[in-house]
Structure 1
């Protein structure tokens, strides 16, 4: 199936089959994905039918035993092969991402490099799964006994993935779940059905048994039905805070890992290299047209260098190359659809009406929003309080470091922040005081290593996404008590 997806001739529609009950299928009705830049149908998916959630859940429950019986070394070998396949098919999958999402092919290549890394790290984590010998004989009632634990597969996992990094975020969830020994149901984003199908097919091509994964396409209705399925033991969801709350309501008493939204802040102090900071904020504020939960959104600059920074940032953003996502030279492509671009532009217009100014950008052509800088918007503007998730960055001045930390913390989100300074005291203070899951020093908020724990607080969710921490979420601790048998001594 992988070759059928990836070898679609240029200009033809890519078919995105579902994988249900151990079989790939394109039967029945289809939905079409119109590429936001090319503005024509680029992929066609088979949406889930009314009974598919039940079929998938029952099949996964029966299949879970098969996957759990694979030795960790076997799972690791398969994941290492998947890593190599991701590298080998880098160009073809990056092209599909560009067509379905308008994401520049250079960014798609980078995403596939991360997919390869993610699968490789998942392989390494599979090899580390083990347990403990518990010190039960340290207490009087434990004398004469031995107790051990190991981490067992949770059983059935549900992975609900977003559109903005559809390949790598799926690799995180599916790779970690398979490393843990689960049968996984993937609910793909409607905007990236072919990309999702390619990653699932890639794992199967690497040797994973068909019992290890199913793939369903569709909207929130199928997602809610899967969340509510009693067979599902753990749900990993990445998306908006509002949808995450709906997932939690539908799931009920299940283990949840929710990586939700953000309106990430980056602080630039006067002792920073302003030109370097401006270039980093420009590059990481508009990659994937700003459609990242940690994309640079709010930049707070010390007042003594605020005007200089705005000028440097404006110049750096103006130099970004906007255009055809299939052109390797393009740095900023389109957003996911026209409505998203129009929403972001309307928020910029709203900020200007309240006294802000646009220093560059502020134009829309279909789903493409020219990279936009909004200087000095009011604190209650939507570009500050909401998750922009688009090609717009706001820049504001600050006077006191403690006050700017408090200002950053007024957000209902708390995913990740950036800080440019040479002052170690400020670094440690920010690490302690900022209500975020991660702080990037001398970098913007938009930096992530796939083997490092990633996640937020407040409305940005809970749990951590990286293979090591996700394997823990995808497994359960099982205890063995050897009553009357002791390795510790009897007296």
Structure 2
């Protein structure tokens, strides 16, 4: 399956994605078509789940869970390590699929596939560490004469609902960690990325993942809702918008959830910062993947005495970005996921200008390609400040003191990650303490992530942490064993 998909992508053919149900690939029946946002033609298609497909997948997952749990962590880790090597071996062809389906520039796609390889390797390493505890029960009188242990057991059936913006790496996180924990996983792929999702699942199977460990369905929110409601599912990991996350939670009911949702990330540039370097970093990370990242730089707050200086450097850096064909290795900014997304950038920049903001660059689109847009000093209530643009737009605003800017950042309903440029350790500690976010990047923008470091947010940015170690904890349950009359610690005098 992997070879066929990669070959079709390299020949510019329509890539036939497939679903995986009960250990069997199938691609027939009614199809949903994916139109490449840059090429403006059908680039891939996937089978639409038919009547009974969701029920069949859930039933197979239930009966398959014990077989996956019975595979020792060492062997699960070996499979993930082979998958890591396979991702590296096929990185160029996999990145090409990302460019075709999503308009993601090759340089960004290659970076994502490198992260897939890293993520599988980290999942393997964390899987080898799964264990338990010998509890100090004999330290209390009622525990004397008893020995107690715990270990982390697989939940059983996990559901992974993946987004379009990083469909390969976020699938690697969810599926890799779930398998490392000993679960069987149902994957609901994003409609915008059926081919790359199929390719990553196929890569794992060809690396030795047992058929019982994974199933894959394509489709829309209806399919996701049916899967969420399944009694067989023990844990759900979802990445996407806050609105869809709310729908997932309602459909799931009383199930364990890991929700990584939206953001309108802020980066603070203090007066003591290297302004040229801060501008360069914000320009590079504000328009990566056309700004379609939950931690993409959306709001930059610059201390007022250096505000215009920052704007001058930042505008120059953004103007130098190459916009165009995502299959061209020199392209920095490709297209957005679709024309509606690009139009949001145009519409919101115009709204900010109507309120007194200055559009210094961009504010226009060609199809699904939004020109990198800079809005200087928009009004506080503008959508580019209060909402998640998830696009190629950065708003730059002045501030006077740290207490003020932290308060302005915290007014957001989101709280995923923030950036801070300063050399003042006191400012760093205060920001880390006071900013209502899940993570703070110092002397970098909000848009920086290491895949083995805990990642997640507060408020409407969700809950849970999406790194392999944290996810394995979410994908397992603690089981306790108590041995009465069998104490390692001695008994009563």
- Supply the distance in 2 between the matched residues of 1:162 and 1:198 (Cα, whole angstroms): 15
Residues 454-489 of structure 1, C-alpha deviation per residue, up to 9 Å, x if partnerless? Answer: 000000000000000000000000111111111110
Counterparts of 1:184-195 in structure 2, within 5 Å, are: 184-195=185-196
- Supply the distance in 2 between the matched residues of 1:483 and 1:57 (Cα, whole angstroms): 39
Q: Which residue of 2 aligns with 1:107?
A: 108
Residues 50-88 of structure 1, C-alpha deviation per residue, up to 9 Å, x if partnerless? Answer: 311111111001000110000000000000000000000
Counterparts of 1:331-346 in structure 2, within 5 Å, are: 331-346=332-347
Q: Which residue of 2 aligns with 1:177?
A: 178
- Supply the distance in 1 between the matched residues of 2:426 and 2:151 (Cα, whole angstroms): 42
- Supply the distance in 2 between the matched residues of 1:126 and 1:426 (Cα, whole angstroms): 38
Deviation of the 1:27 alpha carbon: 1.8
Deviation of the 1:47 alpha carbon: 1.6
Residues 334-364 of structure 1, C-alpha deviation per residue, up to 9 Å, x if partnerless? Answer: 0000011001210000000110111111120
- Supply the distance in 2 between the matched residues of 1:11 and 1:442 (Cα, whole angstroms): 41
Q: Secondary structure at the match of 2:228?
A: helix
Q: Which residue of 1 aligns with 2:52?
A: 51
Q: Which residue of 1 aligns with 2:292?
A: 291
Counterparts of 1:410-449 in structure 2, within 5 Å, are: 410-449=411-450
Unaligned runs of 5+ in 1: none
Q: Which residue of 2 aligns with 1:231?
A: 232
Q: Secondary structure at the match of 1:482?
A: strand
Q: Which residue of 2 aligns with 1:267?
A: 268
**Alignment size in residue pairs:** 491
Counterparts of 1:403-482 in structure 2, within 5 Å, are: 403-482=404-483
Identify which range, 224-233 or 135-144, moves more after superposition.
Answer: 135-144
- What is the root-mean-square deviation of aligned Cα atoms in Å? 0.6
- Supply the distance in 2 between the matched residues of 1:323 and 1:10 (Cα, whole angstroms): 20
- Supply the distance in 2 between the matched residues of 1:442 and 1:344 (Cα, whole angstroms): 27
Residues 438-469 of structure 1, C-alpha deviation per residue, up to 9 Å, x if partnerless? Answer: 00000000000000000000000000000000
Q: Secondary structure at the match of 1:128?
A: coil
1:129 aligns with 2:130: yes
- Supply the distance in 2 between the matched residues of 1:348 and 1:180 (Cα, whole angstroms): 45
Deviation of the 1:123 alpha carbon: 0.2
Q: Which residue of 2 aligns with 1:251?
A: 252
Q: Secondary structure at the match of 2:287?
A: helix
Deviation of the 1:117 alpha carbon: 0.2
Deviation of the 1:165 alpha carbon: 0.3
Q: Could you list the runs of 4 or more consecutive aligned residues of structure 1 that deviate by over 3 angstroms after TM superposition?
A: none
- Supply the distance in 1 between the matched residues of 2:429 and 2:108 (Cα, whole angstroms): 33
Q: Secondary structure at the match of 1:373?
A: strand
- Supply the distance in 2 between the matched residues of 1:365 and 1:302 (Cα, whole angstroms): 34
- Supply the distance in 1 between the matched residues of 2:427 and 2:261 (Cα, whole angstroms): 28
- Supply the distance in 1 between the matched residues of 2:143 and 2:112 (Cα, whole angstroms): 51
If the length of structure 2 is used for normalisation, what is the TM-score? Answer: 0.99
Q: Which residue of 1 aligns with 2:485?
A: 484
- Supply the distance in 2 between the matched residues of 1:409 and 1:144 (Cα, whole angstroms): 52
Identify which range, 10-19 or 447-456, moves more after superposition.
Answer: 10-19
Deviation of the 1:434 alpha carbon: 0.1
- Supply the distance in 1 between the matched residues of 2:95 and 2:401 (Cα, whole angstroms): 44
Contact 2:149 2:481 in 1 (8 A): yes
Q: Which residue of 2 aligns with 1:149?
A: 150
Q: Secondary structure at the match of 1:257?
A: strand
Q: Which residue of 2 aligns with 1:30?
A: 31
- Supply the distance in 2 between the matched residues of 1:480 and 1:348 (Cα, whole angstroms): 60
Contact 2:345 2:363 in 1 (8 A): no
Q: Which residue of 2 aligns with 1:385?
A: 386
1:75 aligns with 2:76: yes
Deviation of the 1:10 alpha carbon: 1.4
Q: Secondary structure at the match of 1:282?
A: helix
Q: Secondary structure at the match of 2:486?
A: coil
Residues 361-398 of structure 1, C-alpha deviation per residue, up to 9 Å, x if partnerless? Answer: 11200000010000000000000000000000000000
If the length of structure 1 is used for normalisation, what is the TM-score? Answer: 0.99
- Supply the distance in 1 between the matched residues of 2:51 and 2:324 (Cα, whole angstroms): 40
- Supply the distance in 2 between the matched residues of 1:426 and 1:139 (Cα, whole angstroms): 45
Residues 141-161 of structure 1, C-alpha deviation per residue, up to 9 Å, x if partnerless? Answer: 111111101000000000000
- Supply the distance in 2 between the matched residues of 1:378 and 1:30 (Cα, whole angstroms): 45
- Supply the distance in 2 between the matched residues of 1:131 and 1:34 (Cα, whole angstroms): 48
Unaligned runs of 5+ in 2: none
Q: Which residue of 1 aligns with 2:277?
A: 276
- Supply the distance in 2 between the matched residues of 1:357 and 1:30 (Cα, whole angstroms): 45
Deviation of the 1:11 alpha carbon: 1.9
